[in-house]
Amino acid sequence: MLPHADEAITRDEKALILAYDHGLEHGPVDFEPVPETTDPETVFELATHDAVTALAVQKGVAEAYYPSYEDDVTLLAKLNGTSNLWMGEPDSSVNWSVDYAADLGADAIGFTVYGGSNKEVEMTEEFRDAHEAAREHDMGVVMWSYPRGQGLKNDRSPDTIAYAARMGLELGADITKVKYPGTPEAMEWVCQSAAGTKVVMSGGSKTDDRQFLETVESAMNAGGSGLAVGRNVFQRENATELLDALEAVIFEGATADDALGEMSSAGEERAGAALD
């Protein structure tokens, strides 16, 4: 592993990647809770928060919006991605090249591999090409390692997620993004399986503040290196306050309880200011 390839997208060896490729992966339905997030500028603004170490977007969004934010946002080019309209075996088209992403100013690439899918071999070979091209540009490599497909009975089992984390190490990722395996013990095994490759937890569908922050805290205590999150941030009206709380838990070692306390004081202040 190259020791510093992911330096641009980490802070103190930890990452908080804001993911905003949902318009492609899930469709505009993900923007309904906070309709302003349909406009990429709203999420680029969130990505200027100190807590965010990189913003992961697809090519079209990067091309149109990143030039206005290049001084304030670190770009992670999510190279492959497929719409929810695709009904075949899990697969993901490669939508831009590493060279193109580098020309746009990206500091890292993101790439999904669906281990266990009938398309695993092709996807892994595509990952190889992207990984080696990224190394030419000294770019960090983040693998979205999501086992799924016909062959998998339970894509959320701790062993499967540990395998997903290990695939990141074996195939050369600097950071491997996995679904949370359900318990702190399972997360520990997942991180151990990655043997030094940074493992970040995927945010998943929106949960309440306490549940989310407690899960992040337990993932960090289990050896996680941070978070790659979309909906649990941009589907909240108080996204900035949640980013403050995540900054405390991920980078400052605060407990979820402490961070929630700060959040509720900030919320009260905001409500008070709105009444004035």
Interface with ligand FBP (CB under 6 A) = 19, 21-22, 25, 144, 146, 202-204, 228-232
Residue 27 CB, shortest distance to ligand FBP, in Å, is 10
Q: How far is the CB of 31 from ligand FBP (least distance, A)?
A: 12
Decide if 14 is catalytic: no
Which of 226, 230 has the CB closer to ligand FBP?
Answer: 230
The pairing of beta strand 15-19 with beta strand 54-57: parallel
HEC string of 29-79 equals HHHCCCHHHHCHHHHHHHHCCCCCCEEEECHHHHHHHHHHHCCCCCEEEEC
> Which residue's CB is nearer to ligand FBP, number 228 or number 256?
228
The catalytic residue among 177, 179, 198, 206 is 177
Radius of gyration over alpha carbons of the chain, in Å? 18
> Is residue 25 a contact partner of residue 82, using CB atoms and an 8 Å limit?
yes
CB-side exposure of 161: number of CA atoms within 13 Å? 23
Q: Would you say 76 or 191 has its CB closer to ligand FBP?
A: 76
Angstrom distances, CA of residue 33 to CA of 43, 121, 201, 212: 14, 37, 22, 17
The nearest distance, CB 24 to ligand FBP, in angstroms, is 7
Tokens of 190: 């997942």
In the complex, the smallest distance separating the C-beta of residue 98 from ligand FBP, rounded to whole angstroms, is 18
Identify which of residues 69 and 146 has a Cβ nearer to ligand FBP in the complex: 146
Active site residues: 177
